[in-house]
Amino acid sequence: MAKALRKLVALSLGLSVLILPILPAYSCGPFFPYAVYAYRNHPDLPLRKFAEGNIGILQPTLARSYLVIAYRYFTDRPLDKDEQAAAVRLCDSRPPIPQG
């Protein structure tokens, strides 16, 4: 009787493994429903927001002029309105750099 019960339990466990759906296992996250990209040579657009002090996460691969703007905000010497306009004009006058 015990042997038959053991076989029945083993059979039911085996069938349940085959019947139940296999769910994917994620090792770490975060998992976004969309792709997240970042520029290598310039901050996110529009550049006006960056010049106004909305720095975000600073990448070390940014062009030096963007790093100087971020440095001004990090050292508590923000750009005034004229400097912000000049920074936006400088950034807009550049040819696009390939993102490779």
pLDDT tens, residue by residue, 18-42: 777 777 777 777 777 887 777 888 8
Residue 75 lies in a domain: yes
Domain count, the chain: 1
Range of the domain at 69: 39-100
pLDDT reported for residue 75:
94
Rounded-to-integer distance, Cα 77 and Cα 80, Å: 9
Is the model's pTM score more than 0.85? no
Report the distance separating Cα 61 and Cα 98, nearest Å: 13
Say how far apart CA 68 and CA 91 lie, in whole Å: 12
- 34 Cβ partners below 8 Å, 6+ apart? none
Confidence band, pLDDT 50/70/90 cuts, at residue 81: very high
Query: Is 33 part of a structural domain of the chain?
Result: no
